[in-house]
Amino acid sequence: MTVLEQFDIRGRSALVTGAASGLGLAFAEAMAEAGAGVTLTDVDGEGAEREAARLRAEGADVRAARFDVTDRAAARAVFDAHAEAFDGLDIAFANAGAGIGPGFWNASGHRNPEGQVDSYDPADWDRSIAVNLTGTYNTIREAVRLMKAGGRGGSIVATSSNAAEICEAIVGMPYMPAKAGVRHMVRHLALELAEFGIRVNAIAPGPVATNIGGGALKRDPALRAKWDSLVPLGRIAEPWQLKPLALYLASDASSYMTGSHLLIDGGMGLGKFR
């Protein structure tokens, strides 16, 4: 098998959560461009269907479904519909996430009164953990069920963050422990599932210009400039820059990799030198 043949995922299928925009859409596009059948899911069901229709018009074999990853009862039906449409499941991206609530610091260089640990809304804590950590668990749980039933293994890719390893003062505090939990859950499940040929890895981006946090990085030049200044490569990422890594982890090119947490953050996790 040649190097390029190891990246071939034609004939396989992938389900992607949070796929109506941002990283999830980029991952779904990468899978479709590489020839896989894809289900785009998102709590924004209309957005997922809109993007699926665009990809179908371009010749891709894709479908869409509304899916709130915090709705455990709905998860089974969403995954079963994918398996029926594509004769099983080979690849799953547990990507859906949300930046909820303010950090204790803001881009203007001041504390956020509502972002302090003693003033942060506990409801925002609950929602952030529910989406970013428990939602990832809900997604992986259903993916594993189908992959075990299929008997041909599979690849699960969770979207973590460099926030699993560093503290980001202008991000709502619960995001850090949620993503740290994703990181360790990936390691634990990789160990548990290796026997079944199911690989579990995580992509850990730094800041990316997506709709997370209400799309602030795309609409607030001051905030964008602040984040750009924190990255040694001088700029935050665009979603398309993560597509090659997504394909690598989904395909046989990464067949000997499991339990990895791959930083792709422009060097932000290295710290500042000036």
Range of the domain at 229: 4-263
Which structure tokens are listed for 115?
């972002």
For residue 180, give both structure tokens. 């740290």
Active-site residue identified among 155, 161, 175, 248: 175
- Predicted local distance difference test score (pLDDT) of residue 213: 63
Alpha-carbon span 85 to 78, nearest angstrom: 11
Q: What percent of the chain has pLDDT over 70?
A: 98
Is 71 a domain residue? yes
On the question of pLDDT at 217 being above 80, the answer is no
Does the residue 165 lie in any domain? Answer: yes
Rounded to a whole number of angstroms, the distance between the first and last alpha carbons of the chain is 46
Whether residue 270 is contained in a domain is answered as no
Higher-pLDDT residue of 36 and 271 is 36
Percent of the chain with pLDDT over 90: 83
In a domain, 271, yes or no: no
The answer to the question of residue 174 being in a domain is: yes
Query: Catalytic: which of 21, 161, 179, 248?
Result: 179
SS3 109: coil
**pLDDT, position 1:** 86
CATH (domain of 145):
3.40.50.720
Tell me the pLDDT of the chain averaged across its residues.
Answer: 94
Domains identified in the chain, total number = 1
Looking at per-residue pLDDT, the higher value among 106 and 35 belongs to 35
- Is residue 224 assigned to a domain? yes
pLDDT-based confidence at 96, cuts 50/70/90?
A: very high
Q: Are 152 and 195 in contact (CB under 8 A)?
A: no
Catalytic pick among 21, 155, 160, 254? 160
Residue ranges of E strands in 47-121: 62-66, 91-94
Note the pLDDT of residue 212. 65
Q: Which of 51, 52, 134, 144 is nearest to 89 (CA)?
A: 144
- Is 160 marked active-site? yes
255 carries an active-site annotation: no
Q: Is the pLDDT of residue 273 over 70?
A: no
Q: Are strands 13-16 and 37-42 parallel, antiparallel or unpaired?
A: parallel
Task: Verify whether residue 161 is a known catalytic residue.
Answer: no
Predicted pLDDT at 204:
97
